Amino acid sequence: MTLKAWIISIRDIPKGQYISYANEYFCDRDTTAAILNIGYADGLGCKIHKDSYLIIKDAKCPILAINMDYLYVDISAIKHQLKTLDMIELFGPNSLSLEQDASMYNITKDEALTKLNALRVKKIVC
């Protein structure tokens, strides 16, 4: 099983700025963030571990914040390799396992599968 989302925006966030609800994440350095079109309303957990990440272009990219509709990922190290509307794999054969992904949101693999919102997440069986 694979879960993917699109980059809907790429933002340069200056050092000292906060992002997401209730200033969830403080940028302690200049950061380039990819904003993905998936959030906890789609079935991801509401809370993330501080060391959560995605594998993008073989790079470990920290997850900065999550809100209802969006996931913010630090792509500073690979920003020149990505653009808006690129598809990012959250879990699947080319990235993290479902178990690894779920643990970053403090949920189990089974919880992750049952929480994926069929009304919001388009399912494609391959």
Predicted local confidence at residue 122, as pLDDT: 61
- Give me the residue spans of the domains in the chain: 3-115
CATH of domain 3-115: 2.40.37.10
Query: What distances in angstroms separate CA 120 from CA 3, 43, 70, 94, one per listed residue?
Result: 13, 9, 12, 23
Predicted model pTM: 0.86
Mean pLDDT (the chain, rounded): 88
Residues of the chain with pLDDT below 50 are 125-126
Element holding 103 (H helix, E strand): helix 98-104
pLDDT digits (tens, 9 = 90+) for 84-105: 999 999 988 988 888 888 887 7
State the greatest distance between any 2 C-alpha atoms of the chain, in Å, as a whole number.
43
Report which of 40, 36, 38, 39 is spatially closest to residue 7, judged by C-alpha positions.
36
